[in-house]
């Protein structure tokens, strides 16, 4: 007999987990809609030609390839499972550009697959929630993504801090210290400042081939402190001779100014060490950290200027962020911050002693459901202990018990499963109580 199992790195989601995940997704979706973003979906499978070469050499190795029986085992598969939502989005925009309104504001919540080695918190199948606007370079879009982040975490009750950087500032810095080609090396090293300290970062930059002079020039930037305004002033001064750097400082200033106009109260911290997805972003870079839980970034993103270029539509600027559903799940669990009652849960179970009582339960249940109450009928007049233990296990808050007396009186014995209290009620009162 085969022992049931699932592929490693994948997961089943239980009813409780699904209720929580649905809460997360529906909250995020509702905020996206509040800002006028519309949902799209793309197929799980994309052509290998769409996927290959988009995620670097390492990424190509992590693609799951798909064979159908028409294909020989030694033929290269034509199709693969999507690796993220960004490349399918770019493909979508180009393929459907004639049908779309630009700026195109879309969100997408779907699973992605990566043949990564599974480990704690890393799965081979996981959901991404991406929200992007494409076809506009207005910084109002950066503002709106920040407002979305603020509103999502306000609804979740998770205190967060938004870290903000700008690729143009990083480019300006590399230019200013005379190492424009070493942008990546500089940021990789700076990125470790928190972890390994200034001395080790300087050592690493030297190993990566930066001149002593360049490293010297970088010191005021590494030591940057103060309010966002003070940091920006220092940067403006340092980068005043770099065109791209000055543009970066201006963009950042403008985003902060727009946040003030919109009344954003989310804490925002300029962080020049923030460099996620550097090869890809061209302007703002975002990252969100939870303040009360130790966990990696729970949302991130930025502006990109040439996402659709690979599919033949160059020069289209966009900006977007991705919410990490699995990490948000872990944060909400750790903070015990899920709503106490999930709206989809069963409110009352009818438990009947006999066949006639069961018929009464069926009648009443039909009535309750018409009144909008999520109602179950235990489907047979089983032992009361069994029926109560079912309600207990499913955490159903009320049980409406029907025995011979109740049947005769056309009432039910309503038991509050939390307090253990019970009282006899008529159908109208039952509806009133459950609707409270």
Based on the shown chain and the rule CB under 8 A, indicate whether residue 4 belongs to the binding site for a copy of itself.
yes
- Of positions 62, 184, 236, 433, contacts a copy of itself by CB under 8 A: 62
User: Of residues 335-354, which lie at the interface with a copy of itself (CB under 8 A)?
Assistant: 344-346, 349
Considering only residues 66-85, where is the footprint of a copy of itself by CB under 8 A? 66-70, 73-79, 81
CB 344 within 8 A of CB 395: no
296 versus 379: smaller Cβ distance to a copy of itself: 379
- Site membership for a copy of itself, residue 5 (CB under 8 A): yes
- Where are the strands (E) in 243-334, listed by range? 268-270, 284-290, 299-304, 318-323
422 by DSSP, 3-state: which?
strand
Stretch that binds a copy of itself, among 5-13, 169-177, 244-252, 276-284 (CB under 8 A): 5-13
Nearer to a copy of itself, 263 or 420 (CB): 263
Residue 223 engages a copy of itself in binding (rule: CB under 8 A)? no
Q: How far apart are the first and last CA of the chain?
A: 50
Handedness of CA 98, 100, 106, 112 (dihedral sign): negative
Stretch in the footprint of a copy of itself (CB under 8 A) among 89-97, 205-213, 241-249, 292-300 = 89-97
Q: Scanning residues 378 to 397, which ones bind a copy of itself (CB under 8 A)?
A: 379-380, 390, 393-394
- Best CA proximity match to 77, nearest among 110, 99, 36, 46: 46
Part in contact with a copy of itself (CB under 8 A); list of ranges 42-50, 196-204, 209-217, 237-245: 42-50
Binding pattern to a copy of itself, positions 289-328, x when CB under 8 A?
Answer: ---------------------xxx----------------
Q: Is 138 in the site for a copy of itself (CB under 8 A)?
A: yes
Residue 112 bridge partners (DSSP): 126
C-alpha 320/C-alpha 286 separation (Å) is 9
Closest residue by Cα to residue 132 from 324, 301, 315: 301
d(CA 38, CA 41) in angstroms, rounded, equals 10
374 class by beta-carbon count within 10 Å (0-12 exposed, 13-18 middle, 19+ buried): middle
> In this structure, what DSSP letter does residue 116 have?
P
List the structure tokens of 217. 């020039």
- Tokens describing residue 9: 């790195």
Q: Does 14 bind a copy of itself (CB under 8 A)?
A: yes
* Min CB(51)–a copy of itself separation in Å: 11
Of 117-136, which residues contact a copy of itself (CB under 8 A)? Answer: 124-125, 133, 136
Among 195, 199, 263, 385, which residue interacts with a copy of itself (rule: CB under 8 A)? 263
């Amino acid at each position: 007999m085969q022992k049931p199992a699932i592929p490693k790195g994948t997961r089943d989601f239980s009813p409780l987990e699904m209720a929580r995940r649905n809460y997360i997704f529906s909250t995020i979706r509702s905020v996206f809609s509040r800002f006028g973003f519309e949902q799209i979906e793309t197929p799980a499978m994309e052509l290998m030609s769409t996927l290959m070469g988009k995620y670097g050499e390492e990424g190509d190795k992590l693609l799951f390839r798909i064979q159908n029986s028409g294909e020989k085992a030694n033929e290269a598969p034509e199709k693969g499972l999507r690796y993220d939502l960004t490349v399918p989005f770019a493909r979508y925009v180009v393929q459907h550009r004639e049908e779309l309104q630009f700026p195109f504001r879309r969100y997408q919540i779907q699973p992605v697959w990566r043949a990564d080695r599974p480990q704690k918190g890393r799965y081979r199948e996981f959901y991404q929630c991406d929200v992007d606007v494409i076809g506009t370079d207005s910084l109002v879009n950066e503002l709106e993504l920040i407002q979305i982040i603020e509103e999502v975490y306000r609804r979740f009750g998770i205190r967060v801090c938004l870290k903000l950087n700008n690729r143009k500032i990083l480019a300006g810095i590399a230019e200013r210290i005379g190492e424009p080609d070493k942008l990546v090396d500089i940021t990789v090293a700076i990125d470790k400042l928190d972890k390994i300290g200034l001395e080790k970062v300087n050592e690493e930059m030297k190993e990566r081939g930066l001149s002593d002079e360049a490293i010297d020039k970088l010191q005021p930037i590494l030591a940057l402190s103060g309010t966002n305004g003070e940091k920006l002033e220092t940067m403006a001064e340092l980068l005043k001779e770099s065109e791209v750097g000055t543009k970066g400082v201006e963009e950042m200033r403008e985003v902060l100014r727009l946040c003030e106009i919109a009344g954003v109260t989310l804490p925002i911290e300029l962080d020049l060490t923030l460099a996620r997805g550097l090869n890809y972003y061209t302007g703002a870079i975002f990252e969100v950290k939870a303040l009360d839980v130790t966990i990696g970034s729970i949302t991130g993103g930025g502006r990109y200027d040439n996402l659709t270029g690979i599919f033949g539509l160059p020069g289209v600027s966009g900006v977007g962020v991705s919410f990490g559903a699995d990490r948000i799940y872990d944060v909400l669990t750790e903070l015990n911050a899920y709503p106490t009652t999930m709206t989809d849960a069963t409110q009352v179970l009818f438990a009947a002693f006999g066949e006639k009582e069961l018929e009464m339960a069926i009648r009443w249940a039909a009535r309750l459901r018409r009144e909008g109450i999520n109602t179950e009928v235990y489907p047979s007049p089983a032992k009361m202990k069994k029926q109560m233990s079912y309600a207990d296990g499913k955490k159903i808050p009320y049980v409406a018990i029907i025995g011979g007396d109740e049947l005769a009186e056309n009432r039910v014995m309503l038991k509050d499963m939390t307090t253990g209290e019970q009282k006899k009620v008529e159908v109208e009162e039952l509806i009133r109580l459950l609707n409270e």
